[in-house]
């Protein structure tokens, strides 16, 4: 399964990215130093009715957490992120509510 993401950035996405980078850093006397933190995650992509469309297991923490209004393609399915909820019990689970879009021709 191939996951493609629209990488167009706006100010909110850049702010979110900067926050996440600080969260993965350690404050030292010389400033922030990058800390590698691997968090196994499970991504569950849900339609607006709450039905699971896709589940992706990410044990090596390779995928970024999607952000609001981000366009995502999984296989032939095109989706726009409407909300993201993260739960930390067991493996961290990201519930990504999406609006499906018509496939590109």
**Which tens digits make up the pLDDT trace of 26-38?**
556 666 566 666 7
Q: Is the pLDDT of residue 101 over 60?
A: yes
Who contacts 16 (Cβ-Cβ below 8 Å, separation ≥6)? 67
What pLDDT does 54 receive? 94
Cα gap 98→12, rounded to integer Å:
19
**Higher pLDDT pick, 47 / 34:** 47
- 69: tokens are 């209004």
Cα gap 71→89, rounded to integer Å:
27
90-105 mean pLDDT: 84
Q: Is the pLDDT of residue 43 over 50?
A: yes
What pLDDT does 8 receive? 46
């Amino acid at each position: 399964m191939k996951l493609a993401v629209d990488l167009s950035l706006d100010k909110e996405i850049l702010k979110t990215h900067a926050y996440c980078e600080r969260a993965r850093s350690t404050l030292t006397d010389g400033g922030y130093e990058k800390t590698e933190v691997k968090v196994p995650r499970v991504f569950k992509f849900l339609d607006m009715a709450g039905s699971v469309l896709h589940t992706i297991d990410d044990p090596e923490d390779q995928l970024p957490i999607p952000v609001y209004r981000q366009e995502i393609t999984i296989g032939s399915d095109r989706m726009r992120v409407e909300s993201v909820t993260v739960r930390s019990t067991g493996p961290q689970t990201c519930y990504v509510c999406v609006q499906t879009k018509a496939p590109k021709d």
